[in-house]
Amino acid sequence: MTGYMVEIEQAVKSFKAVNALNNVSIKFETGKIHGVIGRNGSGKTVLFKSICGFMKLTSGQIRIKGKQVKPATAQDIGLIIEEPGFIGGLSGFKNLKLLASIKRKISDQHIKQSIKQVGLDPESKKHVSKYSLGMRHRLAIAQAIMEKPELLILDEPMNGLDKQGVVEMRELFQRLNTHGLTIILSSHYAEDINALCDTVCEMDNGNLTVLENHTQSSLA
């Protein structure tokens, strides 16, 4: 076993007009919280989709726990890509129950435990259409963790949250990480994740750079 949850080697993803990933190589250590920052269109979502096997690389390799990622084999990964979709006219529990039933292996008790873990009330009958944005984010994270993944990938989980919401999300991610989850998350804003992440890298036009300063300051 390597000490790396994710190893990316010379990943290239080309679309007609653009190289969304331009020879990206990076290793994400197991058990840590990793941040990816970068502007709109810099390639963060493409990187995450490639890690999950939702998108096929043009060339290069991605390994999760030492095993090469093949398209459409996202085991062991909890994933939130941009806006998660829930059914507004159902409660939080019923939404997750519906998703769980598609996979047919998650008990009610376990769904409720996941909802509790993110600080929502599993017994609440409130419809999701009446949830605040912060509550929707939490429910999305509950959905991502209900299958007990070892790796949680969160694309812009702080988007649209106010200061208090961001602080609560940070605490939630730290708590999940303490229980052994490796987390990779993206943000437009360095300040959202500087306080939270063990490593930070920046995506710029498909090029990924590790921000050394961050590592130094977090060691100090």
Ligand X SMILES: Nc1ncnc2c1ncn2[C@@H]1O[C@H](COP(=O)(O)OP(=O)(O)OP(=O)(O)O)[C@@H](O)[C@H]1O
Asked if residue 41 binds ligand X (CB under 6 A), the reply is yes
Selection from Mg ion, ligand X, none that 71 binds (CB < 5 to 8 A by kind) is none
Q: Output the smallest distance, CB 175 to ligand X, in A.
A: 26
Asked if residue 143 binds Mg ion (CB under 5 A), the reply is no
Q: Out of 33, 35, 44, 170, point to the residue binding ligand X (CB under 6 A).
A: 44
Selection from ligand X, Mg ion, none that 38 binds (CB < 5 to 8 A by kind) is ligand X
Q: Which two tokens stand for residue 10?
A: 């010379």
Q: Output the smallest distance, CB 187 to ligand X, in A.
A: 9
Q: Which positions from 93 through 122 interact with ligand X, judged by CB under 6 A?
A: none
Cα–Cα nearest to 198, from 171, 217, 172, 176: 217
Asked if residue 159 lies in contact with residue 129, where contact means CB atoms within 8 angstroms, the answer is: no
Stretch that binds Mg ion, among 19-27, 37-45, 145-153, 189-197 (CB under 5 A): 37-45
Q: Out of 22, 42, 45, 95, point to the residue binding Mg ion (CB under 5 A).
A: 45
Selection from ligand X, Mg ion, none that 18 binds (CB < 5 to 8 A by kind) is ligand X
Selection from Mg ion, ligand X, none that 40 binds (CB < 5 to 8 A by kind) is ligand X
Strands 67-68 and 59-64: antiparallel
Asked if residue 177 lies in contact with residue 33, where contact means CB atoms within 8 angstroms, the answer is: yes
Q: Which positions from 125 through 144 interact with ligand X, judged by CB under 6 A?
A: none
Total of chain residues touching ligand X, rule CB under 6 A = 13
Position 204, amino acid: D
Q: Measured on CA atoms in the order 8, 172, 102, 95, is the torsion positive or negative? A: negative
Asked if residue 177 binds Mg ion (CB under 5 A), the reply is no
CA atoms in the 13 A half-sphere facing the CB of 107: 3
Decide: residue 72, CB within 10 A, 0-12 exposed, 13-18 middle, 19+ buried: exposed
Q: Which residue has the tokens 């017994």?
A: 123
* CA distance readout (Å), 111 to 97, 134, 177: 7, 19, 19
- For binding to Mg ion (CB under 5 A), which residues are involved? 44-45
- For binding to ligand X (CB under 6 A), which residues are involved? 15, 18, 20, 38, 40-46, 188, 203
